[in-house]
Amino acid sequence: MHTQRKIIHLDMDCFYAAVEMRERPELAGQPIAVGGGSRRGVVTTCNYEARKFGVHSAMPGFQARERCPNLVFLPVRFDLYRAASTQIRQILLSYTPLVEPLSLDEAYLDVTGLDRYAWDIAKEIRKRIFEETRLTSSAGIAPNKMLAKIASDWRKPNGQFAITPDQVEAFVRDLPVRKIWGVGPKSAEKFEQQGIRTCGDLQKIELSELVRRHGKWGQELHQLCRGMDDRPVEPNRIRKSLSNECTYLDNLTTLEDCQRELDKLVEELEQELRAKAADRTIHKALVKVKFADFTRTTRECISGHPTRETYRALLAEAHKRSPQPIRLLGAGVRFSEEMEEPVDSAQQLLTLAQAPD
């Protein structure tokens, strides 16, 4: 007989900003943004006081300042956040070894094997995190990962919400389709144009039709819109890549403009690599470009130690692909498999076919 899973999604509340506020109590009650203070900087995260003004992560710093003139910008301090994250991770592991970190500030826990209510476990974990770190968190409890992640956002900040197995059918019926795992803004917009706004709307479409429209993803959509998600919590899941990207308010029209913006992305990527993957071996560097007509291309090269010049060379190749202005840039790395030998800095350009978004 299949055992019903009990999954908790634990999500720290505005984590970087909360850590900064803990370290600087004199800033209590003030709107705070972490990152974005430089001329071309981008907000990494912000506290809830700043969010009341419409400030959010990935927003250009100048725009955040326009919305909130009293916004306090603080530099990113990954070492501080990583230390807090490690402390929180140890608390989670004291309850179950089945902990799957998603980032420094969130993780899944499978507590199916514990002879306690998942609600009580989540409440106790959140209490301990606050007592030991002075940071608040939110939790979602559900029979699977997708619903648990959705639930953790339901009572933010500093709250928790549960979706029991007998509530799943009613809960997902009115759930906006954009909440489904894997549905991004562009896909949600396409669904909206088709009159599909909720999971209930999507449930009315036959499986065969979903597969015809969306291929293999159509099968997943058929299950996900019904609240079905069989993905296990994977404590040893290895990140295969790390990247960041930015969509620009005004299209970039010259290679020089793109290079300046890419340099900023590469600097942020290097910070993330130090924080999240300092012990991983890099295999490839990659640059992603999306043009004004929404076509996109990716250029990669084998490189164990990619530099700014590495990414600029990839960008120059990608830039030749279209005369269109550029609306999005991305920079990233792919990591070596564990059994592979570390690669040196020799570079071999590889081309991926240009494809529509």
The residues annotated as belonging to the active site are: 106
- Tell me the β-bridge partners of 242: 333
Q: What tokens were used for 318? A: 């990608």
- Beta carbons of 357 and 299 less than 8 angstroms apart: no
List the alpha helices (DSSP H) in 215-337: 216-224, 255-276, 308-319
Q: What tokens were used for 205? A: 């479409």
Please give the C-alpha separations between residue 59 and each of 30, 32, 243, 326, in angstroms, as whole numbers: 19, 13, 17, 18
Which position has the token pair 């993803």? 217
Q: For residues 185 and 196, give the distance between their C-alpha atoms in angstroms, rounded to a whole number.
A: 14
Q: Are strands 349-351 and 295-302 parallel, antiparallel or unpaired?
A: antiparallel
Element (H, E) at 296: strand 295-302
Nearest to 126 by CA among 96, 92, 149: 92
Q: Omega into 101 within 30° of 0, i.e. cis? A: no
Nearest to 233 by CA among 75, 10, 2: 10
Q: For residues 331 and 153, give the distance between their C-alpha atoms in angstroms, rounded to a whole number.
A: 29
Q: What tokens were used for 44? A: 């990494």
Cα 118 from chain centroid (whole Å): 25
What's the DSSP call for residue 204? T
Q: Are strands 355-356 and 160-162 parallel, antiparallel or unpaired?
A: unpaired
Q: In what order do the strands lie in the sheet with 32-34?
A: 45-46, 32-34, 72-74
Element (H, E) at 335: strand 326-335
Helix axes 78-93, 255-276, angle to 10 degrees: 40
Which position has the token pair 């419409």? 54
